[in-house]
Amino acid sequence: MHNKTIAELSAALRAGEVTSRELTRHFLERIRSLDGGLNAVITVTEEQALAQADAADARIAAGQAGPLTGIPLLHKDLFCTDGVRTSCGSRMLDNFVAPYDAAVVERLREAGMVMLGKTNMDEFAMGSSNENSYYGPVRNPWDTERVPGGSSGGSAAVVAARLTPAATGTDTGGSIRQPASLCGITGIKPTYGRVSRWGMIAFASSLDQGGAFARTAEDCALVLGAMAGTDPRDSTSIEREVPDYAAGLDADLSGLRIGLPKEYFGEGLDAGVAAAVEAAVETFKSLGAEVREVSLPNTHLAVPAYYVVAPAECSSNLSRFDGVRFGHRCENPKDLTDLYERSRGEGFGPEVQRRIMVGTYALSAGYYDAYYLKAQKVRRLISDDFLRAFEEVDLILGPTSPSTAFRLGEKAADPVSMYLSDIYTIAVNLAGLPGMSVPAGFADGLPVGLQIIGNYFEEGRMLNAAHRFQQATDWHTRAPHGFE
């Protein structure tokens, strides 16, 4: 059962070939037996999962099931889950039990999905390798000596290892697409505002966006369709009707205009990754797409702009974790200053502390205009680059990551090298555009991801292109050895 897609499992549930309880037990057992070598799951909610599975079976028997009813999933551990620990991968929230469900959790529960538990992640979603978690690093199922990518590395790893058919993630600078690429699965980040951020613990509020991992574009279409939609509790939520993403998956690609940014195929791109992406482009040509070169001239400014904007917003958002109201509190503080200093010093890991310090500096008197304001102006230039490109093309294609999965510890001592892992994904977040990564081959035995970028609210077009590509290839069907 674990090698079936969501669409296939949904059909099996409706046909009575399997029950949701049986399916849930199967995946819980896989987590028990296989996650020890991955460290991808922080919390397992077995009792709650079985109760939700029984409720799903009742809905199916009553003829009230939707396409996701009875399908198991895991949530990234920064989505609040009522009565269940929500740690954000941090010692700061190791003892925090959320009193309500995040909008994403709520909507997927209402769609009938069964929550198996919560996945490991870079602390407060800060990282590109999933080595920054208080609970230890997640390992890539394709090679357990390598990283799965971050910050949603736990969610990507559990889908790649067939421990769940789907998982949620968040993407602030590539944190869905980059781990999807490194783990050989499909991941989608929708347009900023398409999915409610209510109950999603914030890192950088103008960049964070919830999304989904699954093995196929079709499965992502089903999950995103249930997650998306306006939410009055989130002021950044967009009031716009959500289309039926699954309905348009089979549309013909003849005449689709695809742009290849010349800036994405230069120095720093691994030769094996480039070859796989070029082969994927040829597949799109064979499907009737028209391919042309486009330019995104301010791409080289995306990383420096991001690493001013994101730390500045993180500095502001994480100021609430002070040892007073909730989260980690130091032992026997001498006074209020000691409480703040030791609670935050003990509760936050090195990468989070680094970004808070950078952000606080960028926002300080005398530096705001020089750094934060200038970064926001660069952000506008980057958005304008994409808008000009989308006057000529319908979608933009390129590599998701400049390399395949790197070894654990390889970049830990070099933060700048680590930050450059997201060089192709960050600009999409700065512009608020939708993007996704699909498996497109292998280099040296490790998965390569193809990034597909769409114009605002063009998730359906991206999913259609990805689906047709997956119908013509079999990269998305490959499973890592030992997890087949």
Q: What is the pLDDT of residue 260?
A: 98
Please give the DSSP secondary-structure letter assigned to residue 150: S
Mean pLDDT confidence for 287-296: 98
Q: What is the pLDDT of residue 413?
A: 81
Q: Single out the catalytic residue among 20, 76, 118, 315.
A: 76
Residue 438 CA to residue 262 CA, distance in Å, equals 20
Q: What is the pLDDT of residue 400?
A: 98
Mean pLDDT confidence for 192-208: 97
Look at residues 146, 157, 168, 206 and name the one whose alpha carbon lies nearest to residue 73. 168
Let me know if residue 366 belongs to a domain: no
Q: What is the pLDDT of residue 277?
A: 98
Cα 320 to Cα 310, 328, 414, 437, 472: the distances in Å are: 17, 12, 29, 34, 49
Whether residue 434 has pLDDT greater than 90: yes
Mean pLDDT confidence for 302-317: 96
Residue 387 CA to residue 45 CA, distance in Å, equals 44
Q: What is the pLDDT of residue 21?
A: 98
- Grade residue 416 by pLDDT with cuts at 50, 70 and 90: confident
pLDDT digits (tens, 9 = 90+) for 243-262: 999 999 999 999 999 999 99
Whether residue 365 has pLDDT greater than 90: no
Provide the total of helices (H) and of strands (E) in the chain, helices listed first.
Answer: 15, 11
Give residue 230's identity as a one-letter amino acid code. Answer: T
Identify whether the C-beta of residue 149 lies closer than 8 Å to the C-beta of residue 172. no
Specify whether 90 is catalytic. no
Mean pLDDT confidence for 22-35: 98
Task: List phi, psi (to 5°) of 187.
Answer: -140, 140
pLDDT digits (tens, 9 = 90+) for 216-247: 999 999 999 999 999 999 999 999 999 999 99
CATH at residue 187? 3.90.1300.10
Q: What is the pLDDT of residue 368?
A: 87
Identify whether the C-beta of residue 379 lies closer than 8 Å to the C-beta of residue 305. yes
Q: Single out the catalytic residue among 87, 90, 133, 151.
A: 151
CA angle 180, 139, 415 (to 5 degrees): 80
Cα 365 to Cα 107, 357, 362, 370: the distances in Å are: 42, 14, 9, 10
Token duo for residue 338? 């000691």
Q: What is the pLDDT of residue 156?
A: 98
Whether residue 451 has pLDDT greater than 90: yes
Identify whether the C-beta of residue 434 lies closer than 8 Å to the C-beta of residue 459. yes
Let me know if residue 198 belongs to a domain: yes
Q: Cα-atom radius of gyration of the chain, to the nearest Å? A: 21
Residue 46: in which H helix or E strand, if any? Answer: helix 46-61
Whether residue 146 has pLDDT greater than 90: yes
**H helices of 288-373, where?**
302-317, 336-347, 350-363
Q: Single out the catalytic residue among 90, 175, 237, 343.
A: 175
Let me know if residue 403 belongs to a domain: yes
Tokens 């991941």 belong to which residue? 187
Q: What is the pLDDT of residue 415?
A: 82
Q: Which residues on adjacent β-strands are paired with residue 85?
A: 97
pLDDT: which is higher, 365 or 7: 7
Look at residues 459, 294, 460, 300 and name the one whose alpha carbon lies nearest to residue 386. 294
Beta strands in 208-364 (DSSP E): 210-214, 257-261, 290-294
Cα 46 to Cα 42, 43, 56, 70, 74: the distances in Å are: 13, 9, 15, 14, 12
Q: Which domain holds residue 83?
A: 6-258+392-477
Let me know if residue 287 belongs to a domain: no
Let me know if residue 211 belongs to a domain: yes
Q: State the CB neighbour count (10 A cutoff) for residue 315.
A: 20
Let me know if residue 357 belongs to a domain: no
- Grade residue 279 by pLDDT with cuts at 50, 70 and 90: very high
Specify whether 4 is catalytic. no
Q: What is the pLDDT of residue 163?
A: 98
**0.85 surpassed by pTM:** yes
Specify whether 181 is catalytic. no
Contacts of residue 224, defined as CB under 8 A and 6 or more positions apart, other chains included, come to 188, 190, 195, 211, 212, 245, 459, 463
Look at residues 55, 113, 50 and name the one whose alpha carbon lies nearest to residue 79. 113
Let me know if residue 19 belongs to a domain: yes
Let me know if residue 342 belongs to a domain: no
Contacts of residue 39, defined as CB under 8 A and 6 or more positions apart, other chains included, come to 120, 135, 136, 137, 138, 139, 154
Whether residue 106 has pLDDT greater than 90: yes
- Grade residue 418 by pLDDT with cuts at 50, 70 and 90: confident
Identify whether the C-beta of residue 112 lies closer than 8 Å to the C-beta of residue 70. yes
Residue 271 CA to residue 366 CA, distance in Å, equals 44
% of the chain beyond a pLDDT of 90: 95
Helix-, strand-, coil-residue percentages of the chain, each rounded to 5: 45, 15, 40
Side-chain half-sphere exposure of 440, counting CA atoms within 13 A: 32
Residue 163 CA to residue 371 CA, distance in Å, equals 43
Give residue 56's identity as a one-letter amino acid code. Answer: A
- Grade residue 104 by pLDDT with cuts at 50, 70 and 90: very high
Q: What is the pLDDT of residue 323?
A: 93
Token duo for residue 195? 């999915």
Q: What is the pLDDT of residue 215?
A: 98
Residue 55: in which H helix or E strand, if any? Answer: helix 46-61
Identify whether the C-beta of residue 15 lies closer than 8 Å to the C-beta of residue 464. no
Q: Is the dihedral of CA 303, 306, 307, 308 positive or negative?
A: positive
